[in-house]
């Protein structure tokens, strides 16, 4: 298992794959061109009360890259055994709780998932 980090906000998640697919995010989320997408001060004025004045929009060439999308790939590193085991135990508990409340058709989907997690937990 791998611990992966999203470059746009630094959040982490567990993955079975060390090469998650490339995805597109707005350049402004990554700080390009040096201003956030939601910062009204960078658009030539502040924001007034709703409906009183239109929010100014910067249409200059310098602001255009903020709307462009940039390909990013999350960075993944091998997870320590204790981290992977804690994640698997949490997933096992979550699916087990869902299985207890599930109808028959849902049980047919959840039981194989629970069995697979049980097999993975043998190494913990």
Helix, strand or coil, per DSSP, at residue 113: helix
Examine the domain organization and report whether 58 and 97 are in the same domain: no
**Domain contains 27:** yes
Per-residue pLDDT tens digits for 15-74: 999 999 999 888 777 776 654 445 444 444 444 455 555 656 666 666 555 457 888 999
Per-residue pLDDT tens digits for 83-123: 999 999 999 999 999 999 999 999 999 999 999 999 999 98
**Cβ neighbours, 10 Å, residue 54:** 9
pTM above 0.75, yes or no: no
Examine the domain organization and report whether 73 and 84 are in the same domain: no
Look up the domain containing 27 and give its range. 1-43+54-79
Examine the domain organization and report whether 64 and 74 are in the same domain: yes
Phi, psi of 90 (to 5 degrees): -65, -45
């Amino acid at each position: 298992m791998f611990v992966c980090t999203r470059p746009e906000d630094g959040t982490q998640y567990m993955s079975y794959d060390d090469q998650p697919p490339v995805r597109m995010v707005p350049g402004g989320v990554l700080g390009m061109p040096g201003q956030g997408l939601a910062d009204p001060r960078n658009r030539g004025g502040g924001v007034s009360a709703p409906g009183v004045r239109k929010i100014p929009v910067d249409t200059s060439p310098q602001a255009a890259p903020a709307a462009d999308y940039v390909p990013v790939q999350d960075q993944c590193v091998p997870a320590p055994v204790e981290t992977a085991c804690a994640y698997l135990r949490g997933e096992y508990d979550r699916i087990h709780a869902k299985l207890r409340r599930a109808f028959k058709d849902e049980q047919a989907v959840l039981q194989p998932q629970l069995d697979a997690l049980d097999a993975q937990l043998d190494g913990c």
